[in-house]
Chains A and B, each alone.
Chain A
C-alpha cells in the first residue's frame, strides 16, 4: 500500500532524471547531432575535450567561481548573521531586504545590472566616468567579464547565506553565548570560539553545496555574456549547452555534463565522509 504512495514521485523522477541521465552517459561515447543515427566513437569526446582550449578555460572559470563563492558569500553571510544576532531588533526586517535579490529571477537581475550599473551609456559606470573615474563595462573585456558576472551572482546570493547562518546561529544555546560574554569574549573571540564552532555543521553543508552549485552556474553567464567575449567567461554548463543546441555536438555536450557531475560527486563524497567522521 505505502509503495503505491511513493510511486508517482518515483515514476516522474526516473522518467525525467534517471533515464535521460543514463542516456547522457551513453551518449558521451557517441557522436550525435540530435537527428541522424549516433555513431560510437569510444573516448573520442573526452579526448577532444582534453585538447580543447575552451574546455580548460571553462573549467578554470568554474574553479575561480567556486573559490569566489566559497569565500565572499560565506564570510559576508557570517558577519551579517552575527550582527543580526547582536542587534536582534529589526532582524526580520533586514532578512526580508537581504532576500529581495534572491527571490528575483536571474534574468531580471542580470538585465538590471547590465542596464543600470555596468552600461557605459546608461549605467552608474557611465555616470562615474563622467566624474572622471576610469571605469568601463566589465562585461566587455576578457580580463573582467567573468568577475563582472560573478559580482551580480554574489549580490543575488549572499543574502541567502546570511539568512541560513542566522537561522543556525539562533539555535546555538543562549547560555553558551552568555557565558562567553561574562567571561569577556570580544566579537572576534565570540566568532572564533562559540558561534562558528556552534554552526559548523551548517557551514560545512553550505560549503559543500557551494562547490556543487558553482559547477551548475548557468543563468547569469548565459544571460549576461553568453560566455564571451572570446569565451573569457565561459563555464562548463554554458559550454555544454552551446555544444548541444548551437553546434549540435550532443555527444561532446554529454561528455562535459559528465565532467560537471563528477565535481558534484566528489563534493558529495567528501560531505558523506565528513558526516561519518562526526558520527563517531
Chain B
C-alpha cells in the first residue's frame, strides 16, 4: 500500500509504535544491562551502565543452575517432542486435509476440544499414574505429554499446508500406482516441509519455555529442564540479581537467536489458524 498519508498522521503513528516498542523492550534491556553488574551497582541504580563488565555473573549462573546438565535436558526434550509432534501430526494432518469421511469431522472436533481443555483437568491423574508407572523424571514420558498437548494446534496448522498442495498431484500419483504411504511420503512431505519447519519452531519454543508440566514431572537434578532449574535458582539466590539476570539471558538466548533469524516463520506459526479470512 502506498497511500498519501498526511505527514502528521505518519509521525504520530511512528511515535506511538515507537513507544510500544520501547515498552516491549525496556524490561529486556534491564535484564541485559544488569546481568553485567554487581549487586551494589544494581541497587545504586538499575538504569546506570556497569562500571566494569561482570562476566562472572554468567559463569556463576551457569554453575549454580547446573546449566551444562539442564540445557542438555531441555534440548533433548525439545528434540523428542518436536520429532513426535511432527511424525504423528503430519500423518493426521494429511488425512484431515485430504480425506472426506464422516468420522474425520469427529476427529477434528475432538482435537479442537482438547485444545481448550485446561491442563489441570488431566494433570492430577496423569501425575499419579506416571508416579505409579515410575515415569516421573523420565524425559521421554514428558515429551509424550507435550506431544498430546501440542498436537492439536500443530495438526490444524499443518493441515493448512496440506490443503495448499494441489489435489491433482495426489490424483496423478494414485493413477500412476502409488500407495497411500508413497503419496504421503513422496508427494506431500517434500511440499509441506516449510510448514513442518514452522511447526517445529513453535513447538520447540513452547517446549523450551514450558513450566507447569516440567516442574511437576521432572523433579530431580538429573532430569530438570533449564527453565525449572532457573526457577529454583532464583528461589535460592534471591538477592544476587546480577547473577539471576545473567541466568535469564542464558535461558532466553537460544529462543531469541532462532526467533531473530527465522522471524517470518515464527510469525506465520503464531498467527496461523488464528486469523479467520
Direct contact of A and B (CB under 8 A): yes
- Residues of A that sit less than 8 Å from B by CB: 1-2, 5-6, 8-10, 12-13, 15-21, 23-24, 27, 34, 76, 79-80, 83-88, 90, 92, 94-109, 111-113, 115-117, 119, 121-124, 126-127, 155, 159-160, 162-164, 167-168, 171, 174, 177-178, 181, 187, 201-202, 205-206, 209, 212, 215-216, 218-219, 222-223, 236-237, 240-241, 244-245, 250, 253-254, 256-258, 260-261, 264, 267-268
How far is A100 from B263 in the complex, measured between Cα atoms in Å?
10
Shortest distance from the beta carbon of B200 to any chain A beta carbon, whole Å: 15
Pair A17/B3 contact, Cβ less than 8 Å: no
Pair A109/B25 contact, Cβ less than 8 Å: no
A10 — which chain B residues lie within 8 A by C-beta? Answer: 92, 107
Pair A256/B31 contact, Cβ less than 8 Å: no
Q: Mark B253-277, 1 if CB is under 8 A from A, else 0.
A: 0011001100110110011001111
Given the interface pairs A17-B148, A113-B27, the reply to whether A241 lies near B120 with Cβ below 8 Å is: yes
B94 within 8 A of A: yes
Given the interface pairs A1-B180, A2-B180, A87-B10, the reply to whether A253 lies near B211 with Cβ below 8 Å is: no
Pair B209/A17 contact, Cβ less than 8 Å: no
Pair A9/B88 contact, Cβ less than 8 Å: yes
The segment from B14-22, B49-57, B166-174, B191-199 found at the interface with A is: B14-22
Shortest distance from the beta carbon of A125 to any chain B beta carbon, whole Å: 10
A83 — which chain B residues lie within 8 A by C-beta? Answer: 13, 16-17
Q: Mark B154-186, 1 if CB is under 8 A from A, else 0.
A: 010000000000000000000000001000100
Pair B24/A12 contact, Cβ less than 8 Å: no
B221 within 8 A of A: no
How far is A167 from B95 in the complex, measured between Cα atoms in Å?
28
- Size band of the B side of the interface? 35 or more
Pair A99/B259 contact, Cβ less than 8 Å: yes
How far is A9 from B155 in the complex, measured between Cα atoms in Å?
9
How far is A178 from B216 in the complex, measured between Cα atoms in Å?
54
B116 within 8 A of A: yes
How far is A10 from B103 in the complex, measured between Cα atoms in Å?
13
How far is A27 from B23 in the complex, measured between Cα atoms in Å?
45
- Identify 13 new A-B residue pairs, CB closer than 8 A, beyond the known A23-B125, A100-B259, A167-B274: A12-B88, A84-B17, A88-B1, A94-B20, A96-B260, A100-B25, A104-B256, A106-B209, A107-B209, A112-B28, A115-B34, A124-B30, A261-B117
B84 — which chain A residues lie within 8 A by C-beta? Answer: 12
Pair B121/A24 contact, Cβ less than 8 Å: yes
Task: Pick the residue among A24, A201, A218 that contacts B276 (CB under 8 A).
Answer: A201
B68 within 8 A of A: no
B245 within 8 A of A: yes
